[in-house]
Amino acid sequence: MSSLSVPPPQCLLKPFVSPQRYMFGPGPSNVPPRVLAAGSQPILGHMHPEVLEVMDDIKSGIQYAFQTQNRVTLAVSGPGHAAMECAIFNTVEPGESVLIAVNGIWGERAADMAERIGAKVNTVIAPAGGYVTNEEIEKALALHRPVMFFLTHGESSTGVLHPIDGIGELCHKHNCLFVVDSVASMGGAPLYMDKQGIDVLYTGSQKVLNSPPGTAPISFSEKACEKVFNRKTKPVSFFLDLSWLANYWGCDDKPSRMYHHTGPITGLFTLRESLAILTETGLEDSWRRHQEVAEYFHKGLEEMGLKLFVQDKKARLPTVTTILAPSGYDWREITAYIMKTYNIEISGGLGPSSGMVLRVGLMGCNCSKTSVDMVLEALADALKHCHKSKV
């Protein structure tokens, strides 16, 4: 007689095989064989010299990808949300005023996170598919006197690429840190952390970088570090405390690195390989390819009679395209048909674009005219075969 009250789960006795699929939604994107191979290497200790060297290489790769000289540059162990919380929890103390640009779900979530730590949250709101102007931002900075302004560069829920130029200067004029989410845009659209006066910038591993989800590059300017390292209160999260993370990543003046948590070794190997690919490709060539492929895609969609959700051409995010859901169709039937027939993932809307759009993400190795042709063919076929109401 066994002493166990929970029997062995039969489901685990069958193998799991992950199917090949074209990951053309807003993320995660496909992981190329070279990156998968990097992740299949033997596990080492998280403080072994080889792993510390990988971490240093990652730091250099992030500095290149972000175009920054910041010393405090590292990868958070966790998805994009972890980097978001790392940025907000470290730069803001309870009771402080923050300003958040909301033009999609990521601004909404940043506001929620700031509220949870007791910040006074103020927002500047743009309609879904639009963005806030520098004039509106400056007015709100003067009115609310925030310590931090949060902006999403690539709003993957609406498909907007938010203009950045000039905002860093405005923030600094008003003695405020400029925090930017580039989870969906980094590597796919021009971004210059230092030149654009960004104080905290973060991204994710699973979009343009084509790594598995679970690591999130982040960097803090000297100005941001000054505030973070002179806080009156401890950040609410031990795990995301920048003092600990900066030491673990060898970004501080301390003579040795201390154990903080066990980093995702495999995720570090894959992130290093993805950053190596970006380095070989060249950042500017990567930006250029995403822009060219996006324009080719948008032209093809318009030739099919489909309409883009973002009116202003300059504000169209090259990595994630939002297409107005074709009228008369159920968008769910379209995405399901394309998945079933072509093994391609595209997705519906999110947050303010929910039910209104189809979202197609072509990022990193998925960003090619061949992928565009596949998606256009699948969409044209779906529009022929899916049910169209007459009303």
Binding mask 136-175 for ligand PMP (x = CB under 6 A): ----------------x-x-x-------------------
Touching ligand PMP, residues 320-379 (CB under 6 A): none
Kindly tell me which of 80 and 326 has the beta carbon lying closer to ligand PMP. Answer: 80
Asked if residue 30 lies in contact with residue 365, where contact means CB atoms within 8 angstroms, the answer is yes
Alpha helices in 282-367 (DSSP H): 283-303, 331-342
Kindly tell me which of 27 and 197 has the beta carbon lying closer to ligand PMP. Answer: 27
Q: Is position 359 annotated in a ligand binding site? A: yes
Rule CB under 6 A: choose which of 25, 27, 264, 326 binds ligand PMP: 27
Binding mask 203-242 for ligand PMP (x = CB under 6 A): -x--------x-----------------------------
| Site membership for ligand PMP, residue 81 (CB under 6 A) | yes
The one segment of 85-93, 160-168, 176-184, 328-336 that binds ligand PMP by CB under 6 A: 176-184
Kindly tell me which of 154 and 190 has the beta carbon lying closer to ligand PMP. Answer: 154
Kindly tell me which of 185 and 247 has the beta carbon lying closer to ligand PMP. Answer: 185
Question: Within a 10 A sphere around the Cβ of 261, how many other Cβ atoms?
Answer: 12
What CA–CA distances, in Å, run from 161 to 4, 279, 312, 324, 374?
55, 23, 10, 17, 24
Cα–Cα dist 139/124, whole Å: 10
Structure tokens at 328: 């008369």
Rule CB under 6 A: choose which of 79, 146, 212, 326 binds ligand PMP: 79
Minimum distance between the CB of residue 26 and ligand PMP, rounded to whole angstroms? 6
Q: Could you tell me the end-to-end alpha-carbon distance of the chain, in angstroms, rounded to an integer?
A: 66
Kindly tell me which of 155 and 252 has the beta carbon lying closer to ligand PMP. Answer: 155
- Return the closest-CA partner of residue 106 out of 149, 155, 153: 155
Q: CB under 8 Å, gap of 24 or more: what pairs does 117-120 form?
A: 117/88, 117/89, 117/92, 117/93, 117/236, 118/94, 119/92, 119/93, 119/94, 119/95, 120/95, 120/96, 120/144
The number of C-alpha atoms within 13 Å of 269 and in the hemisphere containing its C-beta is 16
Minimum distance between the CB of residue 105 and ligand PMP, rounded to whole angstroms? 8
Asked if residue 260 lies in contact with residue 335, where contact means CB atoms within 8 angstroms, the answer is no
Cis peptide preceding 28, ω within 30 of 0: yes
Minimum distance between the CB of residue 184 and ligand PMP, rounded to whole angstroms? 4
Binding residues for substrate: 359
Binding residues: 359
Residues that bind ligand PMP (CB under 6 A): 26-27, 79-81, 106, 152, 154, 156, 181, 183-184, 204, 213
